[in-house]
Amino acid sequence: MPSNKLARTNDDIQFALSRLLRDVKDPRVQQGMISVTRVETTGDLRYAKVWLSVLGLEDEKEFKKGLKSASGWLRKELGASLSLRYTPELVFEVDRSIEYGAHISQVISSLDIDKGEQSDE
């Protein structure tokens, strides 16, 4: 469990990256609506694992390549916006939890259940 300072740092990185990802010019990255779902930073602030959820992702392999090529710029801008001793190296992962939740919601809504009747028998 991260300390309070580390949790605040994770939140700050998450907020800053969510703003910065909108400004990435690489078309491989701009495939859909991107949201930063979670950030976990190591205790020494050297590495940060960033989970991204993308609604409308077309090609995951190209998306990851685009993120890898933009990671240097993102790290530089992150270091300029946050006052940290070390700017962490960014490791990106695709988070499918929102997509999975939307799928489950669609499956539930497609079930033929009459909401007016209750089986109290």
Per-residue pLDDT tens for 58-117? Answer: 888 898 999 999 999 999 999 999 888 889 999 999 888 877 888 898 899 888 776 665
Each residue's pLDDT tens digit, 18-68: 999 988 888 888 877 888 999 999 988 899 999 998 877 788 889 899 999
The contacts of residue 53 (CB under 8 Å, 6+ apart) are 34, 35, 37, 94, 95, 96, 97, 98, 99
pTM of the complete model: 0.77
At 118 the pLDDT is: 57
Separation between Cα atoms, residue 24 and residue 74, nearest integer Å: 8
pLDDT at position 10 is: 92
Residue 37 is encoded by which pair of tokens? 């779902």
Distance of alpha carbon 101 from the chain centroid: 15
